[in-house]
Amino acid sequence: MDFKFLEKKEPLSVFSLAGLADIILLLLIFFLLTSNFIPQFGIQVNLPQTDASAPTEALHVNVAITGEGRFYVGQDEVTRDALLATIREARGDRTSLLLRADRDATVDQFAAVAGAARALDLRVLMATEREDLTPR
């Protein structure tokens, strides 16, 4: 059996960049969607580290507790007595509260924020820094 090819085709000498542009666009979309977009707050606290981080929502009331025991709702400092009223004002239609507590904050301070959130029927999320998961 002898195979004879009747036509000899010339190799393709023109390369279309359309496929390459599609791949680059898909990679760009992939990296944009998988990137962490973490809002940076002006109030600096040392967050505790955990093995897994809690999910965050786009709609939440931001509350911070500093190492010195000061409370912030959004960017405004509030007293412990005014905490409930200030969270109520900042709440709007939000259903959760994101607590950024310094690792030196006390359980009593956390309980004050959690109690105010419970009174307003808000779910409490605790912000943490993700611990390095590589073996030591």
Q: Kindly list the domain boundaries of the chain, sorted by start residue.
A: 59-130
Neighbour tally for 13: CB within 10 Å: 5
> How far from the centroid of its chain's Cα atoms is residue 132's Cα?
17
The side-by-side arrangement of strands in the sheet containing 71-73 is: 76-78, 71-73, 61-65, 96-101, 123-126
Q: What does pTM read for this prediction? A: 0.54
The SS3 of residue 64 is: strand
Q: With respect to CATH, is domain 59-130 assigned 3.40.50.150?
A: no
pLDDT digits (tens, 9 = 90+) for 45-95: 666 666 655 444 457 889 999 888 899 998 889 999 999 999 999 888 888
**29 to 24, 63, 83, 94: CA distances (angstroms):** 9, 32, 41, 29
Specify the DSSP class assigned to residue 29.
Answer: H
pLDDT at 44 over 50: yes
